[in-house]
Structure 1
Amino acid sequence: MDWSRGHTIGRGSTAAVYKAESRHYGKVFAVKSAELHRSEFLKREKEILSALTCPQIVSYQGFDVTFENGACYYNLFMEYAPRGTIADMVRHDKVVEEAPVRSYTRQILQGLNYLHANGIVHCDVKGQNVLVTDQGAKIADFGCAKRVGEAAAPVAGTPAFMAPEVARGEQQGFPADVWALGCTVLEMITGKQPWQGVSDPAVVLYRVGYSGEVPMIPDYVCEEGKDFLSKCFKSDPSERCMVSELLNHDFVRELNLVCNEFAFACDFETPTSVLERGSFWESKTNQDVTHHSSSWNFSSPRDRINMLCTAEPFLEWDDDDDDQVEWVTVRNVATRFSVGNRLCDSGRCETRSNDKEVMEGMSLGSIEKIEDYEPDTLCNCILKVDIGLISTSL
Structure 2
Amino acid sequence: MEWTRGRTLGRGSSATVYAATCHNSGEIIAVKSAELSRSGFLQREAKILSSLNSPYVVGYRGCHITKMRSDSAVYNLLMEYAPSGTVADVAAKNGSGLGETMFAKYTRQIIRGLEYLHSKGIVHCDIKGSNVLIGESGDAMIADFGCAKRVDPEPDSAEPIRGTPAFMAPEAARGEKQGKESDIWAVGCTVIEMATGSPPWTAEAGDPFSVIYRVGYSGESPEIPCFLTEQAKDFLRRCLERKPEERWTASQLLNHPFVCKPDPEPGLIPGSISNSPTSVMDQLFWRSVEEEEDLGHPSRWVSHDERIGRLRCVGYGGPTWDLEGGDWVTVRERCDGTMIGGSHCEFVISGNVM
Aligned pair 1:184/2:185, yes or no? Answer: no
- The answer as to whether partners of 2:169 and 2:185 remain within 8 angstroms in 1 is yes
1:128, distance to aligned residue in structure 2 (A): 0.1
2:244 corresponding residue in structure 1 = 237
Provide the C-alpha distance between the structure 1 equivalents of 2:227 and 2:172, rounded to a whole number of angstroms: 29
Question: What amino acid maps onto 2:167 in structure 1?
Answer: F
- The answer as to whether partners of 1:111 and 1:138 remain within 8 angstroms in 2 is yes
2:145 corresponding residue in structure 1 = 142
Question: What amino acid maps onto 2:290 in structure 1?
Answer: D
- The answer as to whether partners of 2:101 and 2:261 remain within 8 angstroms in 1 is no
Distance change in 2, residues 1:134/1:21 (3 Å): closer
Q: How does 1:83-122 map to 2 (within 5 A)?
A: 83-94=84-95, 95-122=97-124
1:14, distance to aligned residue in structure 2 (A): 2.6
Aligned pair 1:263/2:280, yes or no? Answer: no
Q: What percent of counterpart residues are identical? A: 50
1:152, distance to aligned residue in structure 2 (A): 1.4
Structure ranking higher on relative contact order (CA contacts 8 Å, 6+ apart): 1
Structure 2 residue runs of 5 or longer lacking an equivalent are: 272-277, 297-354
1:205, distance to aligned residue in structure 2 (A): 1.1
1:319, distance to aligned residue in structure 2 (A): 10
1:297 corresponding residue in structure 2 = none
Provide the C-alpha distance between the structure 2 equivalents of 1:11 and 1:43, rounded to a whole number of angstroms: 17
1:196, distance to aligned residue in structure 2 (A): 1.1
1:218, distance to aligned residue in structure 2 (A): 1.6
Question: What amino acid maps onto 1:226 in structure 2?
Answer: K
1:218 corresponding residue in structure 2 = 225
Off by >4 Å, runs of 4+ in structure 1: 256-261, 323-327
- The answer as to whether partners of 1:7 and 1:320 remain within 8 angstroms in 2 is no
Question: What amino acid maps onto 2:141 in structure 1?
Answer: K
- The answer as to whether partners of 1:60 and 1:78 remain within 8 angstroms in 2 is yes
2:12 corresponding residue in structure 1 = 12
Distance change in 2, residues 1:254/1:268 (3 Å): closer
- The answer as to whether partners of 2:83 and 2:136 remain within 8 angstroms in 1 is no
Q: How does 1:306-345 map to 2 (within 5 A)?
A: 321-322=290-291, 325=294
Distance change in 2, residues 1:228/1:175 (3 Å): same
SS in 1 for 2:19: strand
Alpha-carbon RMSD across the aligned residues, in angstroms, is: 2.2
- The answer as to whether partners of 1:84 and 1:269 remain within 8 angstroms in 2 is no
Of structures 1 and 2, the larger Rg is shown by: 2
Provide the C-alpha distance between the structure 2 equivalents of 1:251 and 1:229, rounded to a whole number of angstroms: 10
Provide the C-alpha distance between the structure 2 equivalents of 1:124 and 1:269, rounded to a whole number of angstroms: 28
1:346 corresponding residue in structure 2 = none
1:331 corresponding residue in structure 2 = none
Structure 1 residue runs of 5 or longer lacking an equivalent are: 271-317, 328-394
1:159 corresponding residue in structure 2 = 165
2:199 corresponding residue in structure 1 = 193
SS in 2 for 1:197: helix
CA offset digits 1:195-240 (Å, max 9, x no partner): 0122422211111000001000121110000000011111110111
CA offset digits 1:6-33 (Å, max 9, x no partner): 0111123432100000123211000001
1:263, distance to aligned residue in structure 2 (A): 3.5
Q: How does 1:309-388 map to 2 (within 5 A)?
A: 321-322=290-291, 325=294
CA offset digits 1:246-267 (Å, max 9, x no partner): 1000101253577775132753
1:125 corresponding residue in structure 2 = 127
Q: TM-score, normalised by structure 2?
A: 0.75
CA offset digits 1:342-362 (Å, max 9, x no partner): xxxxxxxxxxxxxxxxxxxxx
Distance change in 2, residues 1:112/1:261 (3 Å): farther
Distance change in 2, residues 1:109/1:260 (3 Å): farther
SS in 2 for 1:155: coil
SS in 2 for 1:64: strand
Q: TM-score, normalised by structure 1?
A: 0.67
SS in 2 for 1:214: coil
Q: 2:214 aligns with which of 194, 201, 207?
A: 207
Provide the C-alpha distance between the structure 2 equivalents of 1:238 and 1:116, rounded to a whole number of angstroms: 15
- The answer as to whether partners of 2:101 and 2:263 remain within 8 angstroms in 1 is no
CA offset digits 1:362-383 (Å, max 9, x no partner): xxxxxxxxxxxxxxxxxxxxxx
Provide the C-alpha distance between the structure 1 equivalents of 2:220 and 2:202, rounded to a whole number of angstroms: 13
1:82, distance to aligned residue in structure 2 (A): 1.1
2:62 corresponding residue in structure 1 = 62
CA offset digits 1:267-313 (Å, max 9, x no partner): 3379xxxxxxxxxxxxxxxxxxxxxxxxxxxxxxxxxxxxxxxxxxx
